[in-house]
Structure 1
Amino acid sequence: MRRVPPSLLRHRVRIEPYLGDGAYGPAYGAAAEHPALVSTTVRMVRSADGRAVTSTAQIIAAPGLDCPPGSRVTLPGGRVTTVIVSTGHTAPGLPVPASTEVMAE
């Protein structure tokens, strides 16, 4: 399976994976930087619970990215946003690269 070429991932994003709610509010995992391709276009997307919500940042990254809904993402410009939905894309046998697509508020 081919992966999205690293040369296309021109941005760096900082991701703090959402772990769940704790006694003091949301809990996040250790922050890590990842290469990505970021688009700041306004789009309507469906959240995990089926609601139509507005996404203002779309991120393409390498497959296997740990970025569940609710995770905090710091975009290249410094804006911090929250993940709405994260999806892995694969196409075994086809000449298209595998990747992870993240839609954020």
Structure 2
Amino acid sequence: MRVPGWLLRHRVTVEPYDGDSAYGPTYRPPVEVRALVAEANKVTRNREGVEVTSTAQIITEPGLDCPPESRLTLPSGRVTKAISVANHTAPGLPVPQSTEVMCE
């Protein structure tokens, strides 16, 4: 079961992180996705395991291409970066599959 589409009330633009170049980070072309956005401060851990504060959390359909360091534009117009990405699955259980992105 996937997260119901009627819950995904926002539109978020995702520019997937593609690596670093001599001129800084590079990104793949932007993609607009439907999401549920909560702009709230929460403590999470980054890729190195260091505690950081997430200022926005995004829930989307499963399979979102959004590696950490990806650039996201929230419905408010604020541009932020992905701290961590979690794919939630529960085969056989009546809970929806989704992708959760914690943002700076």
TM-score range with shorter-chain normalisation? over 0.9
> What are the within-5 Å matches in structure 2 for residues 34-73 of structure 1?
34-73=33-72
TM-score normalised per structure 1: 0.98
Question: 1:88: how far off?
Answer: 0.2
* Partner-residue secondary structure (3-state), 1:7: helix
Distance in structure 2 (CA, Å) of the matches to 1:89 and 1:47: 18
Q: What is the aligned-residue identity percentage?
A: 62
Distance in 2 (CA, whole Å) between partners of 1:85 and 1:68 is: 8
Establish whether residue 104 from structure 1 lines up as the match of residue 103 from structure 2: yes
- Report whether the alignment pairs 1:89 with 2:88: yes
Q: In structure 2, what is the Cα distance between the partners aligned to 1:101 and 1:49?
A: 18
Find the aligned partners of 1:67 and 1:78 in 2 and give their Cα distance: 18
Unaligned runs of 5+ in 1: none
Q: CA deviation at 1:23?
A: 1.8
User: The residue matched to 1:84 in structure 2 has which SS?
Assistant: strand
CA RMSD, Structure 1 to Structure 2 (Å):
0.4
Q: How many residues align?
A: 104
TM-score by length of 2: 0.99
* Moved beyond 4 Å, runs of 4+: none
**Matched residues in 1 for 2:47 and 2:95: separation?**
26
